């Protein structure tokens, strides 16, 4: 990296969230009267746009937008709202946009970057499973299981987890015209509406002897835009799922299951999906359409890309829920106030009936109290939790009333929750390996005869 280049740390130290809000077209609302600085957007006539407001935290490093509790710093704000900035172009990387905007605000010139155009290959054949020799994992046959050992050992995924997902992975060997052949662990890609049809493979290679990374990719000709890996220990169909878990790889899905199945006995009935990398609109819409009433668990990585994938999936869920609402005259004004990609609770509450406005007022007052207690550093965690419980109760009352007003059935109000591996782990396989290392260290101080049956069978601890 050039020694004159500025880093994210430089941006966070030299800029405040207020600098970015002003550049994005917001201005200080001096008449708001809240305990936080308030920034609002105005229209061409200078009038305030209702419902478009950000509040700034006391130290000026973050902002948030009622009624959501999520905090944005200057980096995440720019990535989440690229359309507010003149530098943005369709398809631009979020990191590139952050660099351009922050360097401009700091009057720090950066060199132009040459645009590279990569021509796509035009001779790729559509995926055909007949081009592969398939070796499957049989829970009743130890000989079939041995070939999988080197693909799962370095990931810490034990035999019991392999048993649980044995229908949903295989070894695939592709024979090439030059006489060479390659065998990879394959997670079959399926279409949500046609799960019996395999349209590609998410592939993972054996770990290299030197400990460096192994091959990962997708089989040639795979339908990566619509196909994704779908697995369930109980064989639950996507249309029958009550819980759907989203991951970026099949390894992460199996790792999550291994970490949590003892504490959640119903996990074996859930459906696990892997996008095999960047989630596409077709993948997201396909799964949501087939599992509308299920709770969506967003388990993507915690890095920048994972956060972006999470936000894109949330927007698709919001879009799906909103599309099921009939825009009657009494609802039209409120629906029109919902920002693009926003949930049904993000519109202008002043446009709701009196009873709903009152319900929302109780929630917002409790929400402001939670934010104040968190930022003060003077409140006991138990007191904060009690206030959060009160706030969540008010929100449930408001949400139920809002759903009735908008004519939504509860099954059509798709719910989601964000789940993240414990810091500093980036993904679920990182957390699984960290747990295994911790357990191995503890085992060094216990008698050998206490090892478990699973440890004797897998040998992963040796």
Within 13 Å, how many C-alpha atoms sit on residue 151's CB side? 24
Q: Note the pLDDT of residue 362.
A: 94
Task: Report helix, strand or coil for 444.
Answer: coil
Strands 37-42 and 132-136: unpaired
CB 300 within 8 A of CB 416: no
Cα–Cα distance measured from residue 214 to residue 150, given in angstroms and rounded to the nearest whole number: 11
Write 67-70 long-range contacts (CB < 8 A, 24+): 67/345, 67/346, 67/360, 67/363, 67/364, 67/367, 67/395, 68/346, 69/367, 69/370, 69/371
Q: Note the pLDDT of residue 310.
A: 94
Task: Report helix, strand or coil for 78.
Answer: helix
CATH 3.40.720 fits 8-105, yes or no: no
Q: Where are the alpha helices (DSSP H) in 293-427?
A: 304-323, 329-336, 354-376, 381-406
Peptide bond into 350 cis (omega under 30): no
The ranges of the chain with pLDDT < 50 are: 1, 115, 117-118, 460-462
CB 428 within 8 A of CB 436: no
**204 pairs with which residues across the strands?**
185, 216
The b-or-e profile of 56-80 (16+ CB within 10 A means b, else e) is bbeeebbbbbbbeeebbbbbbbbbb
* DSSP-assigned letters across all residues of 89-157: -TT--HHHHHHHHHHHHTT----------PPPPS-PPPP-GGGEEEEE--TT-HHHHHTTHHHHGGGT-
Strands 271-274 and 295-298: unpaired
Task: Report helix, strand or coil for 269.
Answer: helix
Q: Note the pLDDT of residue 118.
A: 47
**218 pairs with which residues across the strands?**
202
Q: Note the pLDDT of residue 422.
A: 93
Cα–Cα distance measured from residue 213 to residue 333, given in angstroms and rounded to the nearest whole number: 54
Peptide bond into 170 cis (omega under 30): no
Show me where the domains of the chain are located: 8-105, 129-321, 325-407
Radius of gyration of the chain, Cα coordinates, nearest whole angstrom: 25
Apex 221 CA angle, 218 and 223, nearest 5: 75
Cα–Cα distance measured from residue 80 to residue 68, given in angstroms and rounded to the nearest whole number: 14
CB 287 within 8 A of CB 253: no
Please report which helix (H) or strand (E) contains residue 457, including its range: helix 453-458
Cα–Cα distance measured from residue 3 to residue 144, given in angstroms and rounded to the nearest whole number: 54
CB 260 within 8 A of CB 247: no
* DSSP-assigned letters across all residues of 17-67: HHHHHHHTTEEE-TT---SSEEEEEE-TTSPEEEEEEEEE-TTSS-EE-TT
Burial class of 348 by CB neighbour count within 10 A (0 to 12, 13 to 18, 19+):
middle
Q: Note the pLDDT of residue 460.
A: 47
Q: Note the pLDDT of residue 117.
A: 47
Neighbours of 439 (CB within 10 A): 11
Tokens of 278: 């960047």
**pTM: predicted TM-score of the whole model, two decimal places:** 0.72
Tokens of 448: 């050998």
Task: Report helix, strand or coil for 180.
Answer: coil
CB 195 within 8 A of CB 287: no
């Amino acid at each position: 990296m050039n020694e004159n280049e500025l880093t994210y740390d430089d941006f966070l130290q030299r800029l405040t969230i207020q600098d970015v809000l002003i550049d994005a077209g917001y201005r200080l609302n001096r008449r708001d009267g809240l305990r936080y600085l308030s920034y609002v957007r105005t229209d061409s006539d200078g009038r305030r746009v209702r419902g478009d407001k950000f509040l700034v935290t006391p130290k000026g490093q973050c902002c948030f937008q009622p009624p959501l509790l999520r905090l944005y710093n200057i980096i995440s704000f720019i990535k989440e709202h690229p359309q507010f900035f003149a530098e943005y172009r369709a398809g631009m990387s979020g990191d590139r946009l952050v660099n351009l905007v922050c360097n401009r605000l700091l009057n720090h010139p950066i060199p132009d970057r040459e645009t590279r155009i990569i021509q796509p290959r035009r001779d790729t054949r559509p995926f055909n499973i007949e081009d592969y020799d398939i070796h499957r994992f049989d829970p009743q046959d130890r000989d079939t299981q041995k070939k999988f050992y080197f693909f799962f050992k370095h990931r810490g995924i034990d035999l019991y987890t392999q048993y649980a997902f044995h229908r949903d992975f295989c070894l695939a060997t592709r024979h090439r015209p030059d006489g060479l052949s390659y065998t990879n662990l394959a997670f079959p890609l399926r279409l949500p509406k046609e799960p019996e049809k395999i349209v590609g493979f998410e592939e993972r290679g054996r770990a290299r002897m030197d400990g460096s990374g192994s091959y990962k990719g997708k089989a040639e000709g795979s339908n990566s835009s619509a196909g994704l890996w779908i697995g369930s220990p109980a064989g639950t169909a996507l249309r029958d799922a009550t819980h759907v878990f989203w991951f970026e790889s099949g390894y992460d899905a199996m790792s999550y299951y291994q970490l949590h199945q003892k504490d959640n006995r119903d996990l074996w009935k859930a459906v696990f999906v892997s996008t095999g990398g960047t989630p596409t609109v077709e993948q997201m819409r396909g799964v949501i359409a087939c599992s509308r009433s299920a709770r969506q668990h967003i388990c993507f990585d915690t890095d920048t890309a994972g956060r972006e994938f999470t936000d894109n999936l949330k927007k698709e869920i919001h879009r799906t829920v909103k599309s099921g609402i009939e825009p009657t005259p009494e609802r039209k004004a409120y629906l029109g106030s919902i920002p693009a990609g926003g949930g049904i609770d993000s519109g202008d509450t002043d446009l709701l009936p009196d009873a709903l406005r009152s319900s929302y007022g109780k929630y917002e007052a409790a929400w402001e109290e939670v934010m104040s207690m968190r930022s003060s550093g003077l409140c006991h965690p138990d007191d904060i939790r009690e206030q959060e419980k009160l706030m969540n109760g008010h929100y449930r009352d408001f949400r139920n009333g809002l759903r009735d007003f908008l004519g939504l059935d509860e099954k059509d109000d798709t719910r989601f929750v964000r789940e993240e591996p414990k810091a500093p782990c980036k993904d679920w396989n990182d957390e699984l390996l960290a747990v295994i290392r911790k357990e191995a260290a503890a085992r060094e101080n216990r008698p050998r005869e206490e090892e478990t049956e699973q440890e004797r069978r897998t040998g992963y601890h040796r």
